[in-house]
Structure 1
């Protein structure tokens, strides 16, 4: 990979890792469902007027927007508003990789390699350790909702696979026409007109900056650069960089929010990272070992 593209990958990782700190900043001034409505309105407009609609049937655009945008962030925002620390959220959300494997096996008939099962078991153990090893700052509700967010992300990955090769920016922009109205409906139901009006009336500069970051930096810039990398290089070369997202997420939460993990949670985090590493890099190792075995058998 060219040095400038490595730099772009690191920019994306930094942007996505910091995303979780910024979400908490936004939630400090706006309730979670209203934050979702405003974020995805900014993602879709005015970009939808400038970006060509991808050659994708509306049912798939709706499925994409309903899972990877509405479902994922409705659960994630509500989780972080209900006791899920930013650093742990950045880590636990990466369990989408394992849910994606399971859904691909069930819905698409893809086979799961043994190395992926090992990675899944290690990461699941890590999540159990995180859940049981807290000091009371993380709630089980927050953990459960974050896992549900990762499930929705994984379902969105399956939808993306079914869609096939398409302009990713166009898919993001047009797919994000879906979330604003459902988010607004959820906000009216869960938060109420009075809270919505009060939040909008007293919206501060830090909240506006958080919204700009979430919509334009984390979503449009982040996914735009990531899609460029995926178009230029193989998935196997680009995907390992995603392992750095929880590293940035955890470290930025410690540095900027003064979040602290217990010893047990750090152990759990290391286990989850090990499981993710096997998931991302394990297939390459598996193929390498299998190739050597075949060569040995021929000799």
Structure 2
């Protein structure tokens, strides 16, 4: 990866780590599916009025939006609301890394190199070290929801690689539009019309939560992330996501006053070492799998 792309990946994981603080703040007053639908609605509108649809099949754009909106964030926010600690969720959702590498191998034929596999294992050991320290008995149902959210994120990663090189801002805007109606329908079915009562007099925390999730997180961070996935193999990009819990824990420390222990520092160091190994073993972009470099555009 180029230095510019490495810095872009680091910006992405920083924003995604901060997003857990925003999610926790929003869930204090707004039900999870309602909060999720608002996030994607504001990411889409009014941008769809001035940004043209991406040059990609509408079915893939919709599938990407559903995987990200319903699969990842719908399950993640519901799991946190039902009892999963936000910090532990930021760790557990990183199971998307092996999910993505496995799906890329099965669906796209991307074969990770030995150093990439070793780097992923080292980084996951770092995640496990932090998870053990943060500990606690997490409830099984919400825990499985977060694992499902990780699978949703991995699926979105594979779909965007299938889409190929397109205008990533347009992809994020129009996929957000595609996922908003299903999320609103699920919110009405699961949470009921009363879920929108909190919106009559929204708190500043809820407004800030939606704004941060809609713009820096959805449009900027996931737009950059999707662009990286179209240019590099999944095994090169996805290990960076293992830094998200480090960013999340540091952000909760500085914003919410949660402590940072020696185990967290040690785990973060392992994650950095694993990512360094993964990058060392990565194929050059010019030799990447054809589907990651020159994906055909739709007419």
TM interval, shorter chain, is 0.7 to 0.9
Structure 2: runs of 5 or more not aligned: 285-299
Residue 206 of structure 1 corresponds to 205
Query: Cα 1:253–1:277, aligned 2, differ >3 Å: closer, same or farther?
Result: farther
Secondary structure of the residue aligned to 1:177 is helix
Residue 36 of structure 1 corresponds to 36
Task: Give the whole-Å Cα distance in 2 for the aligned partners of 1:151 and 1:217.
Answer: 23
Q: Deviations over 1:100-150 (max 9, x none)?
A: 110011112222333344345455656666666665364343433222212
Where do residues 152-171 of structure 1 align in structure 2 (5 Å cutoff)?
Answer: 152-171=152-171
Secondary structure of the residue aligned to 2:253 is helix
Q: Quote the offset at 1:171 in angstroms.
A: 0.7
Q: Is the 8 A contact 1:42 1:215 kept in 2?
A: yes
Task: Give the whole-Å Cα distance in 1 for the aligned partners of 2:268 and 2:108.
Answer: 30
Task: Give the whole-Å Cα distance in 2 for the aligned partners of 1:27 and 1:67.
Answer: 21
Q: Quote the offset at 1:283 in angstroms.
A: 2.9
Residue 221 of structure 2 corresponds to 222
Q: Is the 8 A contact 1:39 1:211 kept in 2?
A: yes
Query: Cα 1:96–1:214, aligned 2, differ >3 Å: closer, same or farther?
Result: same
TM-score where L is the length of structure 1? 0.77
Residue 181 of structure 1 corresponds to 181
Q: Is the 8 A contact 1:65 1:175 kept in 2?
A: yes
Residue 100 of structure 1 corresponds to 100
Structure 1: runs of 5 or more not aligned: 286-299
Query: Cα 1:269–1:192, aligned 2, differ >3 Å: closer, same or farther?
Result: farther
Q: Deviations over 1:250-282 (max 9, x none)?
A: 111123234458887777666666555544544
Task: Give the whole-Å Cα distance in 2 for the aligned partners of 1:89 and 1:66.
Answer: 20
Query: Cα 1:229–1:48, aligned 2, differ >3 Å: closer, same or farther?
Result: same
Q: Is the 8 A contact 1:36 1:73 kept in 2?
A: yes
Residue 141 of structure 1 corresponds to 141
Q: Is the 8 A contact 1:87 1:252 kept in 2?
A: no
Task: Give the whole-Å Cα distance in 1 for the aligned partners of 2:148 and 2:67.
Answer: 11
Q: Deviations over 1:47-84 (max 9, x none)?
A: 11111111111111111111123211111111221233
Query: Cα 1:41–1:60, aligned 2, differ >3 Å: closer, same or farther?
Result: same
Residue 111 of structure 1 corresponds to 111
Residue 255 of structure 1 corresponds to 254
Q: CA RMSD in A?
A: 3.6
Task: Give the whole-Å Cα distance in 2 for the aligned partners of 1:139 and 1:258.
Answer: 24
Q: Deviations over 1:146-188 (max 9, x none)?
A: 2221211111111111111111111111111121111112212
Q: Is the 8 A contact 1:33 1:74 kept in 2?
A: yes
TM-score where L is the length of structure 2? 0.77
Q: Quote the offset at 1:93 in angstroms.
A: 2.5
Looking at CA atoms only, which structure, 1 or 2, has the larger radius of gyration? 1
Q: Quote the offset at 1:16 in angstroms.
A: 2.4
Secondary structure of the residue aligned to 1:34 is helix
Residue 81 of structure 1 corresponds to 81
Task: Give the whole-Å Cα distance in 1 for the aligned partners of 2:218 and 2:121.
Answer: 31
Where do residues 224-239 of structure 1 align in structure 2 (5 Å cutoff)?
Answer: 224=223
